[in-house]
Amino acid sequence: MAKLYVNPNVKKGHINPELQGHFSEHLGRCIYEGIFVGENSDIPNVNGMRTDVVEALKEIQVPVLRWPGGCFADEYHWMDGIGPKEKRKKMINTHWGGVVEDNSFGTHEFMELCRQLGCKTYINGNVGSGTVQEMSEWVEYMTFQGVSPMADLRKANGHEEPWNIDYFGVGNENWGCGGNMRPEYYGDLYRRYQTYVRNYDSKKQINKIACGANADDYHWTEKVLETTFDHGNGYMNGMSLHYYTLPTGDWNKKGSALDFDEKSWYRTLKATLKMKELIQRHGAIMDQYDPEKKIGMMIDEWGTWYDVEPGTNPGFLYQQNTMRDALVAGINLNLFNKNCDRVKMANIAQVVNVLQAVILTEGEKMVKTPTWHTFNLYKYHQDGELVESSVETREVGLEEKYMIPDLTESVSLGKDGRLHVTLTNASLTDKADIEAIFAETPVKSVKAEILTGDMKAHNTFEAPEQVHTGEFTAVSVSGNKVTFTAPACSVLHLEVEI
Ligand code: AHR
């Protein structure tokens, strides 16, 4: 019997809802078709946003959405995407699939989408190929209330009131697709560009995010912080980190999303657990400069990256999603919770039809992926207080190099006054008998839900309900102890009344 120790009296930090954030890029069928179909589409929509997708995203309480990229952001010129649609520039999306980008989804449409979702806005600015003036004017266009050239232009384009920018990214992957820069050079550019990301309304702070490292490039983190550090209070509210989970670790041969074996299962989950080390080591560097943890680690791209589905445009990054992805999501969301003192936002890549998507669409059809179901189980953590917990684990796997702990967990005290336990069992063969002990806290009742299935189980447009959550009743309560069995290959949420 594995013991799960929970001490509700020891609070470890606030869980920002933004830890369950999402990312939307002008890539493949993410924005166009996946979200935006236009007002004249036969697909039911409100102001062009497809209703089925918006409803599904509202159900998981999407807290924040990042846009317009990704690599696309450092080639995006925002003025191309405002004003009458018939006059907007058409161009080739050189990064992604070489398709025509007609700019029919621009700033106004993104803000309308966030309004419908009721989520915070995260705009990623262009440092790689854009000017300081362009960035500064975009911020003015979106947020300035009074009389100014850009505020007047916004009003002329039909939006009288300014919008909120909750987060603003000063460039994306500037070590790569965003300009192939050295960290010292980017650090200097960051100092300059961020100066003109003005907070026009002192009551609505724009949180500025610097481009952080790719995976384990600790040199980047060190040098960017060293270059920018003495730059004054509020110069940086967050620093990003990108880490994708590849089953093979090889970008040229990533492996299939659907056709994989048990070894690949464990290799993938081993790869995803590297996130723990990345948070610790980048966090340790950040601690040197920012011991009070005022600068958030923003993991604004994470998730699985497989070979594209056979027969699809390689530049569209469309992949299916199985129970393996559900486990990847559960393991990472537990890690983010456990490090909520430093990790302040995380955005899975990407929200619809791209990489580890929570939703897939095909024409008018839509399915919720196993990853969507994991987010649905974890949403109760949003805005909760992390409480101390630990679980006894066993090493599981098939190859010495790719052994992993069977269980991960995190526990929060929710806004509803209940304790929320989320737990993953990554073993493909063994259930885990668990005794949860709540220190000095008698338990009144427990309600639980489970997501489980074959490792390759997934939802298709023909069979959209193959994988879904179900009620989990095999839980017994005695005093301050709760016992249950987590089946192999499962994600669980326990709502504990105390
Ligand atoms: O999410 C797909 C791409 O991955 C993004 O555009 C880029 O930032 C990253 O390399």
> Do residues 374 and 424 lie in contact, with contact meaning Cβ atoms separated by under 8 Å?
no
Alpha helices in 350-421 (DSSP H): 370-378
Q: pLDDT, tens digit, for every residue of 397-428?
A: 999 999 999 999 999 999 999 999 999 999 99
Q: Give the HSE-up count for residue 55: Cα atoms under 13 Å, Cβ half-sphere.
A: 8
Q: Which of 101, 173, 277, 362 is catalytic?
A: 173
Amino acid at 366: M
What's the pLDDT score for residue 251?
93
pTM above 0.75, yes or no: yes
Q: Which of 75, 112, 137, 301 is catalytic?
A: 301
Q: Give the HSE-up count for residue 266: Cα atoms under 13 Å, Cβ half-sphere.
A: 18
Q: pLDDT, tens digit, for every residue of 19-62?
A: 999 999 999 999 999 999 999 999 999 999 999 999 999 999 99
Q: What is the mean pLDDT of residues 109-116?
A: 98
Residues 364 and 440 in one domain: no
Active site residue 364: no
Residues 434 and 453 in one domain: yes
For residue 242, pLDDT beyond 70: yes
Nearest alpha-carbon partner for 43 in 30, 53, 28, 31: 53
For residue 362, pLDDT beyond 70: yes
> Do residues 207 and 168 lie in contact, with contact meaning Cβ atoms separated by under 8 Å?
yes
From 24, 30, 301, the mutation candidate for ligand 1 (largest count of ligand atoms within 8 A of CB) is 301
CATH number at residue 162: 3.20.20.80
Q: How many domains does the chain have?
A: 2
What's the pLDDT score for residue 229?
84
C-beta of 30 in contact with ligand 1 (< 6 A): no
Residues 155 and 303 in one domain: yes
What's the pLDDT score for residue 258?
98
Residues 394 and 344 in one domain: no
* CA 172 to ligand 1: nearest atom: 8
> Do residues 138 and 170 lie in contact, with contact meaning Cβ atoms separated by under 8 Å?
no
C-beta of 349 in contact with ligand 1 (< 6 A): yes
Residues 232 and 359 in one domain: yes
Question: In sequence order, which residues have a C-beta less than 8 Å from that of residue 20 and are 6 or more positions away?
Answer: 60, 61, 62, 63, 333, 346, 375, 378, 379, 381, 382
| Domain end marker among 332, 356, 382 | 382
Distance CA 101, CA 97 (A): 10
Distance CA 373, CA 212 (A): 29
Residues 297 and 365 in one domain: yes
More confident residue, 466 or 234: 466
Residue nearest to atom 2 of ligand 1 (CA): 70
C-beta of 81 in contact with ligand 1 (< 6 A): no
What's the pLDDT score for residue 292?
93
C-beta of 25 in contact with ligand 1 (< 6 A): yes
* CA 355 to ligand 1: nearest atom: 1
> Do residues 142 and 162 lie in contact, with contact meaning Cβ atoms separated by under 8 Å?
yes
* CA 96 to ligand 1: nearest atom: 6
What's the pLDDT score for residue 68?
98
Confidence of residue 430 (pLDDT cuts 50, 70, 90): very high
What's the pLDDT score for residue 232?
66
Q: What is the mean pLDDT of the chain?
A: 97
Q: Give the HSE-up count for residue 177: Cα atoms under 13 Å, Cβ half-sphere.
A: 15
C-beta of 2 in contact with ligand 1 (< 6 A): no
Beta strand segments in 192-342, E:
207-214, 238-245, 296-304
For residue 352, pLDDT beyond 90: yes
Percent residues over pLDDT 70 in the chain: 99
For residue 231, pLDDT beyond 80: no
Q: pLDDT, tens digit, for every residue of 54-81?
A: 999 999 999 999 999 999 999 999 999 9
Residues 440 and 476 in one domain: yes
CATH number at residue 424: 2.60.40.1180
What's the Cα-to-Cα distance from 31 to each of 70, 106, 219, 231, 306, rounded to whole Å? 13, 10, 34, 36, 20
Ligand 1 mean position, distance from CA 352 (Å): 14
For residue 368, pLDDT beyond 80: yes
What's the pLDDT score for residue 230?
75
Ligand 1 mean position, distance from CA 435 (Å): 41
Strands 120-125 and 100-101: unpaired
Residues 145 and 46 in one domain: yes
* CA 349 to ligand 1: nearest atom: 1
Active site residue 137: no
Residues 211 and 324 in one domain: yes
| Domain end marker among 322, 355, 382 | 382
Residues 375 and 454 in one domain: no
> Do residues 41 and 473 lie in contact, with contact meaning Cβ atoms separated by under 8 Å?
no
Residues 432 and 371 in one domain: no
Ligand 1 mean position, distance from CA 252 (Å): 16
Alpha helices in 6-163 (DSSP H): 51-59, 107-117, 132-143, 149-156
Q: What is the mean pLDDT of residues 74-97?
A: 95
How many residues are recorded in the chain? 498
| Domain end marker among 338, 361, 382 | 382
Amino acid at 417: G
From 23, 24, 25, 353, the mutation candidate for ligand 1 (largest count of ligand atoms within 8 A of CB) is 25
What's the pLDDT score for residue 249?
86
Q: Which domain holds residue 171?
A: 16-382
Nearest alpha-carbon partner for 206 in 218, 215, 197: 197
Residue nearest to atom 4 of ligand 1 (CA): 70
What's the pLDDT score for residue 234?
73
Residues 256 and 220 in one domain: yes
Biggest alpha carbon distance in the chain? 68
Nearest alpha-carbon partner for 460 in 373, 367, 359: 367
Ligand 1 mean position, distance from CA 335 (Å): 22
Distance CA 234, CA 232 (A): 6
SS3 call for 63: coil
Q: pLDDT, tens digit, for every residue of 178-203?
A: 999 999 999 999 999 999 999 999 88
Percent residues over pLDDT 90 in the chain: 97
